[in-house]
Structure 1
Amino acid sequence: MAVQLLNNTFTFNLQIAKFDVPPEAIYPVFFTGALIYLFAVLCNVTILALIVTQRSLHKPMFYILFSLPLTDLLGITCALPRVLVDIITQTNFVYYPTCVMQGFLLHLYGGSVLFILAAMSFDRYIAICKPLRYNSIMTPFTLCCIMSLVWGLDIALVLVLFALQARMPKCKTFIVNVYCNNSALVLLSCGGDTTVNNIYGLAMTGFMQAISVAIQLFSYIQILITCISHAQSEARIKAVNTCLAQIITFCLFEIVSTFTILSYRFQNIPPNAQKLCGMMIFTILPVVNPIIYGMKTKEIRNAFFVMLKKQKVAFI
């Protein structure tokens, strides 16, 4: 039996939705998913290692960027391995506390991406629009304040969301998606009033989006104005190259999120397609982000090639 109240006994085993995979496709799907996961882990760990080990990347921009691959590793690790295990074992049960933890971390991932991109855009605004004051503004203390605000605000907002969900008594048995999230956990409740949960969930999502979009719009508009008014073409090229990766990542996140939300609004979309769209939020960015930053950020490219040369010399 799943989470329910029977004779005042609370049990913790939940049934969770799974992909309908034909028997002949189980192993191909599993190995494809495993390769995607391993590729994402390898790429993001490489970015983290470069930022830690290469002195050329010991700058405020990359200290902020450090949080992005960490967040990507959090998102894909919380979502993908458990789904792959369910596919290969043909089981669809999850322990309730594990489900709550997965949901909490996945919501944390979504908010942190928005806030980190906002922090990165602010850093680029200072670097390009106020270059002479950059070092005096982006001090270690300022960096600590920015990153504390990014993670502290994200954690606080998600904690309140899950506290509202936890107060509701549970008596239903089925998680409606292939991963746990707040809305699926709310649906386990015994038919109580979920108005407060719904209002707060929408308000939190709107607040995160509004803060991130406002900061990025302000930063990139100011950067654009600086580029247009600047006489040197090199300054324009530098501005575009340092901002383009963040802009691509933000647009990709918004497109995937919107596509996922719309997929659940149309009843004629197959269930497997809806579940796959839900998984895209936690798999596409962790795979694509390291490639984007590797291609569009000259300092990371150079640091990568320097590391390769050192490894080659070490093996000779």
Structure 2
Amino acid sequence: MEKNASVASDVLELQGFDISPEFTYPLFFLLLLVYLSLLFSNIGVLALIIMEKSLHQPMYFLFCNLSVNDVIGNTALLPQVMAHVLSTKRFITYNQCVAQAFHSHTFGSASHLILIIMAIDRYVAICHPLRYSSIMTGRTVVGLSVVVWGVSLVLVSVLLGLTVRLSRCRSFIQNAYCDNPSLFKLSCEDVSINNIYGLVFTVLLFTCSIGGIVITYMRIALICWIKKNKELNNRALQTCASHLLLYLIMLWSGFLTITLHRFPNYPDLRKIAHILFHVVPANLNPVIYGLQTKSLRVKIVEILQRKKVIPF
């Protein structure tokens, strides 16, 4: 298939990863291991929270959003990437490509917004513990979750809607996966509107994300400094340090992916950054938010003891 077709085709060719034959299977099995690991950990923690009534608390329900987002976002990306690692002919239909781009961008925007509401939850728990149950009610949690998913779906729908309206004069995607920039680069029309909205979308998302995290963490740090309570400081440090580490990893890998789209001389680095943006937080989330949370950790140990996996 030619890389620049004069007539738009419903079948697109992806560039994929440029790897040596001897690294094909090691890369495939590495991606498979990573994918199975994130599926097992996220679905396992999600099922535990649903089944255990003692875990039906605002913090855990908010965490469910993160697990669902990680599973859907990575399922839309990794199986196709793994299949194309083994194949020399990497084809995908235009509709499948749009669907993958939609899930990928929804994953990215929802990840940022979910971490914001989780930071707000931690702020209320640490700074207003006596009012926590009255503020973070079930209705509040559901409302925050609906806002996160609603905003993400609307923003991404407009983003992809501006792209699918364009006519196509190419059928070759210079990428290993489908995203919005790769899709609108298939067009020979003026894509200024796409670039402008994409920039506004990115700036708005990052501003809200960074601003929300900075404000909540500064308030938490201020309360800890004023009260000088050792137990409060330890609780805040344990909760916020892991949350901040995960957020920084996700932030910089996402920022690197977006920036490298403006520098076509580094295609492999961009592809790797995008994969890391998906798989690293998805594998760390259950560990950071699950195993470091005492109630959830206790339930996991109880289940393992019941099954006699570990001795009493």
TM-score (norm 2): 0.92
Match of 2:177 in 1: 179
Contact preservation (8 Å) 1:4, 1:171: yes
Q: Distance in 1 between matches of 2:50 and 2:308?
A: 20
Match of 2:79 in 1: 81
Amino acid of the residue matched to residue 112 of structure 1?
A
Q: Are residues 1:107 and 2:88 paired?
A: no
Out of 279, 302, 310, the residue aligned to residue 306 of structure 1 is 302
Match of 2:45 in 1: 47
Q: Distance in 2 between matches of 1:297 and 1:18?
A: 39
Q: Distance in 1 between matches of 2:164 and 2:230?
A: 56
TM-score (norm 1): 0.91
Match of 2:245 in 1: 248
Out of 205, 208, 231, the residue aligned to residue 205 of structure 2 is 208
Match of 2:224 in 1: 227
152-161 or 289-298: which moved more?
289-298
Match of 2:56 in 1: 58
Kindly provide the CA deviation profile for residues 249-303 of structure 1, in whole angstroms up to 9, marking residues without a partner as x: 111111222333455555664x434422232211221122222223432222222
Give the secondary structure class of the aligned counterpart of 1:246. Answer: helix
Out of 283, 291, 299, the residue aligned to residue 279 of structure 2 is 283
Give the secondary structure class of the aligned counterpart of 2:149. Answer: helix
Q: Are residues 1:194 and 2:191 paired?
A: yes
**CA 1:146–1:164: 2 relative to 1, 3 Å:** same
Question: What displacement does 1:5 show?
Answer: 7.2
Contact preservation (8 Å) 1:99, 1:180: yes
Out of 140, 143, 158, the residue aligned to residue 142 of structure 1 is 140
Q: Distance in 2 between matches of 1:144 and 1:293?
A: 19
Question: What displacement does 1:35 show?
Answer: 1.1
Question: What displacement does 1:207 show?
Answer: 0.8
Contact preservation (8 Å) 2:9, 2:171: no
Q: Distance in 1 between matches of 2:217 and 2:250?
A: 17
Q: Distance in 2 between matches of 1:258 and 1:123?
A: 25
Contact preservation (8 Å) 2:256, 2:270: no
Match of 1:123 in 2: 121
CA-based RMSD of the aligned residues comes to 2.3
Out of 286, 289, 292, the residue aligned to residue 293 of structure 1 is 289
Amino acid of the residue matched to residue 278 of structure 2?
F
| 5+ long unaligned stretches in structure 2 | none
Match of 2:32 in 1: 34
Q: Distance in 2 between matches of 1:146 and 1:227?
A: 26
Question: What displacement does 1:308 show?
Answer: 1.1
Amino acid of the residue matched to residue 65 of structure 1?
F
Kindly provide the CA deviation profile for residues 1-51 of structure 1, in whole angstroms up to 9, marking residues without a partner as x: 589774xxx641001111122222222221121111111111111221221
Q: Distance in 2 between matches of 1:118 and 1:98?
A: 30
Contact preservation (8 Å) 1:75, 1:282: yes
271-280 or 163-172: which moved more?
271-280
Give the secondary structure class of the aligned counterpart of 1:234. Answer: helix
Give the secondary structure class of the aligned counterpart of 1:193. Answer: coil
Give the secondary structure class of the aligned counterpart of 2:307. Answer: helix
Kindly provide the CA deviation profile for residues 202-260 of structure 1, in whole angstroms up to 9, marking residues without a partner as x: 10111111112222222111111111122431111112222233212111111222333
Q: Distance in 2 between matches of 1:265 and 1:167?
A: 22
Contact preservation (8 Å) 2:181, 2:261: no
Q: Distance in 1 between matches of 2:232 and 2:152?
A: 34
Match of 1:159 in 2: 157
Contact preservation (8 Å) 1:263, 1:277: no
Q: Distance in 2 between matches of 1:138 and 1:57?
A: 15
State the identity %. Answer: 35
Q: Distance in 1 between matches of 2:32 and 2:126?
A: 41
Q: Distance in 1 between matches of 2:179 and 2:140?
A: 33
Q: Which runs of 4+ in 1 moved over 4 A?
A: 1-6, 261-269
Amino acid of the residue matched to residue 145 of structure 2?
M
Contact preservation (8 Å) 1:165, 1:182: yes
Amino acid of the residue matched to residue 309 of structure 1?
Q
Give the secondary structure class of the aligned counterpart of 1:66. Answer: helix
